[in-house]
Chains A and B, each alone.
Chain A
Amino acid sequence: MKKLLLFLTLFITTGIYNQSVAQCTISDLKVNLKQVNTTTCEIVFDLSWTQDVNTGNKFAYLHMWNQSGYHTPAENWPGMYAGNQDYPVAADLVNALATIVIEKRFSSS
């Protein structure tokens, strides 16, 4: 008998802003919280998003902050992602909790 599993996701998606700079789109960024350890403050979650794929699709970057540190130092962030050279560097990510880079060079699959 085929096993049925229930997969429940709850997303709070207010305030998400999608931006297409030039030749691709990335959207629908969602977070699925799985565990919270209130002793160690470790959380476990899944991240997912939708993006264009082509033979040139190579890198995806994820940056994470807590609320108070988001997009700080504030003076560094106006215009971020607006142009193709407007990506965050070390000075812009000084208050970030983590960054994940996914590389998939030379492949659209």
Chain B
Amino acid sequence: MVYNPDPSYILPQLTGLSVTKVHLTSAIERMTVQNVRLILPSCSGVQTIKFDAWASQAAHGDIVHCATQGANLVINEVKPIGLINCVVPRKFQVIIQNSGPAIDNVYYDVHIDYPPIGILNPTDTVVFEGGPITPSCQCLLHRPDYRLPAV
């Protein structure tokens, strides 16, 4: 059986689910699907979800024109927390909590979030780039009191 798209069937719109695309250049866009809800067979201990994405420019969507594969989402293991202090001078903190085994090569970026809120877009100023780090078991990486740039 082949899964060709069926334009006549549209999934019911779930609360919070959205697709947003932002043009980075005239030829490149950033696609974001927000609030995907997935029920896992198990959520005991560390769970790894794997992702593939591919795109088609064919009228019926049945020709592979490009693909990327093997993205990971590890659950119950690494938790990033951002704290912001709005008292002038404004500052922020980053806490990365790892409740699992040590993980190599974790990178993180801190952005100031401008509309559309929660979606990475060209106006989201990067204020800090961290990594690679290797959070060991039960560690807290605490980046205290970075100054936010004036706006």
* Interface of chain A residues 10 through 43 with chain B (CB within 8 A): 10-31, 33-34, 36-38, 40-43
A36-B75, A51-B29, A58-B61 given; A4·B112 CB < 8 A: yes
Quick one: given A21-B66, A31-B71, are A58 and B56 in contact (CB under 8 Å)?
Answer: yes
How many contacting A-B pairs (Cβ < 8 A)? 280
Dominant secondary structure at the A interface: strand
Contact B55 A64 (CB under 8 A): no
* Interface size class, chain B: 35 or more
The answer for the CA separation of A99 and B38 in the assembled complex, in Å, is: 11
| Chain B residues numbered 27-55 whose CB sits less than 8 Å from any CB in chain A | 27-43, 47-55
Q: For residue B7, which residues in chain A have a CB less than 8 angstroms away from its CB? A: 103, 105
On whether the beta carbons of B118 and A70 are closer than 8 Å, the reply is: no
Least CB distance from A69 to B in Å reads 8
Question: Are the C-beta atoms of B113 and A102 separated by less than 8 Å?
Answer: no
B112-129 vs A, CB cutoff 8 Å, 1 = contact: the mask equals 110001111000100000
Contact with A along B98-112 (1 / 0, CB 8 A): 000001111111111
A105 vs B60: C-alpha distance in the bound complex, in angstroms? 9
Cβ–Cβ < 8 Å partners of A56 in chain B: 57-58
Chain B: CB-nearest residue to A57: B57
Known: A50-B29, A51-B29, A67-B50. A26 touches B36 (CB 8 A): no
Contact with A along B70-88 (1 / 0, CB 8 A): 1111111010111110100
